Amino acid sequence: MTTAIRPPLGAPSREEDAMSTCFAIARRNGSENLPLEDARRVGAMRRLAVARLKYCGLQRMSDDVAVIVSELLTNAILHSGGTQITFGMTVRGGFLRISVRDGRPGNPAVRDGRPGNPEICPANGDAETGRGLYLVASLADAHHGTWGISEAGATIWCSLPL
């Protein structure tokens, strides 16, 4: 795992702060279970994000950001088919931007379990998974933020105003 954090440790700055970490994940064989080591990485990245928010004086965002980080990372691990994930968090220009890059193009579907919205694919009502991006979209909306998927589909991001 490699991690880059800027600026150097010192006085916290809400104006510009960035961190990025890249880590290996297990190649999945199509099963729906998250490998234990990868689940631990999700937890570690969630704790890193919360610690970074505290460092920047943004701890009030910690709960929602922890959920967003968990959902984006878990989604990338479960569905990318790749073996490497890059997680980044940047504070710049009055926004917190969270990004997860899995390096594999694709178009993830937003599922919410409710029929009727043509922009959202309904999840099976009994499904225990499949609503992560809907949760990310809902949290971004609640904060008057945005989220999206890169043109090639290899990066998914969420931007929240400070």
The residue with tokens 């968990």 is 70
Structure tokens at 46: 């969630």
* pTM: predicted TM-score of the whole model, two decimal places: 0.78
Q: Residue 111 gets which letter from DSSP?
A: B
Residue-wise pLDDT tens digits, 34-89: 888 999 999 999 999 999 999 999 999 999 999 999 999 998 888 877 889 999 99
Angle between helices 62-79 and 36-55 (to 10 degrees): 150
